[in-house]
Amino acid sequence: MALGKVRGFHVCSARQCTEVARWAVIWRNPRIHQGREKTWLACEGHREFLAEFVALRGFPYRIVPVSELGEAVGESAKQVDPSSLTEQERSQLAGEG
């Protein structure tokens, strides 16, 4: 399936995943991230995997809904798989075109 350029949606940070991100894993490495945090975006299928990755290293983290991050701006390095959009999200896109 060809992936279309779909703007305005966060894309999962997991390698080779192109699904819409629904969660943000916000973490930091206290030894190198003083006063700042890193954010990994996660689809439903990768939420626990990404959280466990940082937890196993003892890094403090929290998981929040991606809606708390605000709107996706600019081009992503990865294109979202349109099949991972909800019906409501597809309707929004159809209204923009």
pLDDT at 1: 31
Q: Which domain holds residue 32?
A: 23-96
Model pTM above 0.85: no
> Higher pLDDT residue, 32 or 33?
32
The structural domain count of the chain equals 1
pLDDT mean across residues, the chain: 83
What is the average pLDDT across 39-43?
93
- In-domain check, residue 56: yes
- In-domain check, residue 63: yes
- In-domain check, residue 73: yes
Q: Residue 69 is which amino acid?
A: L
Give CA angle at 41 (7, 60), nearest 5°: 155
Residues with Cβ within 8 Å of residue 84, at least 6 apart in sequence: 18, 19, 20, 43
Q: What is the pLDDT of residues 45-59, one digit of tens each?
A: 999 999 999 999 999
- In-domain check, residue 4: no
Confidence of residue 64 (pLDDT cuts 50, 70, 90): very high
Confidence of residue 27 (pLDDT cuts 50, 70, 90): very high
- In-domain check, residue 41: yes
